[in-house]
Amino acid sequence: MDPLSSLADPHPAPALHQPRVFLLSPANCNGRRAKQILSSRAAFPLAERLRSRQGAPLGELFAFVSGLYFRGKLTYARRFAAPPDPSNTVVGCGVHVITPNAGLRVPDTLVTSTAVRAFAGADVHPDNAAYRKPLERSARSLAGEIGPECHVVLLGSIASPKYVGVLLDIFGERLRFPLAERLRSRQGAPLGELFAFVSGLYFRGKLTYARRFASPPDPSNAVVGCGVHVITPNAGLRDPDTLVTSTAVRAFAGADVHPDNAAYRKPLERSARSLANEIGADCHVVLLGSIASPKYVGVLLDIFGERLRFPLEFVGRGDMSRGSLLLRKAAEGAELTYAPFAGAVLHGARPPKMNPDP
């Protein structure tokens, strides 16, 4: 049986009405736009209202500071919030903004420039009590009012413990975000999107780079496809657009990625041999992964031989550095240098840090 056979019906039944409230992560109040709005010379209406005694709405402030991202979150949340009791003063409209030092606030909360400066000076980190305790208090208050059936949808940095780490302890299974919702659905979500969430920067860099530079010999070939293949813990090589559900994710989590584990190795060998037969003798296969680990190289080298390559620039770098490098090269349109594994030096000194993007 295919380990990924838990894919959804392509025509899932429509979801029933579900009470839901939204939590929006805050905007960065230390950036250029925040400094602009706090300038005493700023003469546009929002800046003038922030300097007044009345202030301006928190949602409007964060939409200006963050731009498109926060504006999109706020617009979406206002459109789809379904609070169980809108007359409840704690629940309100069902949209709540995480602040750096004042817990959850509705987007219509009026703030002044003094509050913005306090936001800018706050450390949004779960170890910082000045951030965590107000958030915990207001989140517990909200959790006590919405009831056990109401979903809490987080629109923010879902891979970051600064939000999820605090809120998950309070809301538990009620805490949702779009990817998790799709994984729980019958249809599922793309494998590449799942791994980019779980791994963060490193996998996102690998996937972006691979999509940018893959050059398959025959894209119409169903085995070769787009030329990007993801190694899975129990289902061999899969296209990053393969839809997976939470059932498949749990199976991934329970798999031992080790060459001695047949449940991992055999599906990988089968799909790798199938790919090797279709791409021809002149097509290189570039591994973007743990180049010094036998869990990948030990299996793939026997199948692809001299065709199996790795980026020389990976030597000596950690995962975060590799992820940043891959994203930068994809944006520049500049490929890395590939070398065959046979006889290669896979360990080395850490390279100098990259200059930050201008």
Whether the pLDDT of residue 206 is over 90: the answer is yes
Considering the domain boundaries, does residue 14 fall inside one?
no
196 confidence band (pLDDT: 50, 70, 90): confident
Examine the domain organization and report whether 124 and 241 are in the same domain: no
Considering the domain boundaries, does residue 2 fall inside one?
no
Query: Which helix (H) or strand (E) covers residue 95, if one does?
Result: strand 95-98
Examine the domain organization and report whether 210 and 302 are in the same domain: yes
Considering the domain boundaries, does residue 247 fall inside one?
yes
pTM reported for the whole predicted model: 0.59
Whether the pLDDT of residue 16 is over 50: the answer is no
Domain boundary among 176, 209, 231: 176
Examine the domain organization and report whether 156 and 224 are in the same domain: no
pLDDT digits (tens, 9 = 90+) for 48-102: 999 999 999 999 999 999 888 899 999 999 999 999 999 999 999 999 999 999 9
pLDDT digits (tens, 9 = 90+) for 20-49: 999 999 998 988 899 999 999 999 999 999
Examine the domain organization and report whether 262 and 122 are in the same domain: no
Whether the pLDDT of residue 5 is over 80: the answer is no
Which region among 141-145, 222-226, 256-260 has the lowest average model confidence (pLDDT)?
256-260
Whether the pLDDT of residue 230 is over 70: the answer is yes
As given in the structure block, the two tokens for residue 1 are: 């049986």
Examine the domain organization and report whether 212 and 271 are in the same domain: yes
Examine the domain organization and report whether 171 and 195 are in the same domain: no
Considering the domain boundaries, does residue 353 fall inside one?
no
Considering the domain boundaries, does residue 355 fall inside one?
no
Examine the domain organization and report whether 172 and 286 are in the same domain: no
As given in the structure block, the two tokens for residue 193 are: 């999107």
**Contact predicate 155/165, CB 8 Å:** no
Examine the domain organization and report whether 278 and 239 are in the same domain: yes
Considering the domain boundaries, does residue 348 fall inside one?
no
**Contact predicate 325/354, CB 8 Å:** yes
167 vs 109, residue with greater confidence: 109
Examine the domain organization and report whether 88 and 214 are in the same domain: no
Which region among 154-158, 210-214, 326-330 has the lowest average model confidence (pLDDT)?
154-158
Sheet containing strand 20-24, strands side by side: 104-105, 95-98, 20-24, 151-155, 175-176
Considering the domain boundaries, does residue 333 fall inside one?
yes
Which region among 180-194, 225-239, 277-291, 334-348 has the lowest average model confidence (pLDDT)?
334-348
190 confidence band (pLDDT: 50, 70, 90): very high
Report the domain count for the chain: 2
Distance CA 268, CA 255 (A): 13
Considering the domain boundaries, does residue 7 fall inside one?
no
Report pLDDT for 345.
56
162 confidence band (pLDDT: 50, 70, 90): confident
Q: Which structural domain range is residue 271 located in?
A: 189-340
Examine the domain organization and report whether 152 and 233 are in the same domain: no
**Contact predicate 280/217, CB 8 Å:** yes
Whether the pLDDT of residue 157 is over 90: the answer is no
Examine the domain organization and report whether 215 and 243 are in the same domain: yes
Say how many Å lie between the first and final Cα of the chain, rounded. Answer: 50
As given in the structure block, the two tokens for residue 240 are: 């990053």
Mean pLDDT of 269-295: 92
Examine the domain organization and report whether 193 and 266 are in the same domain: yes
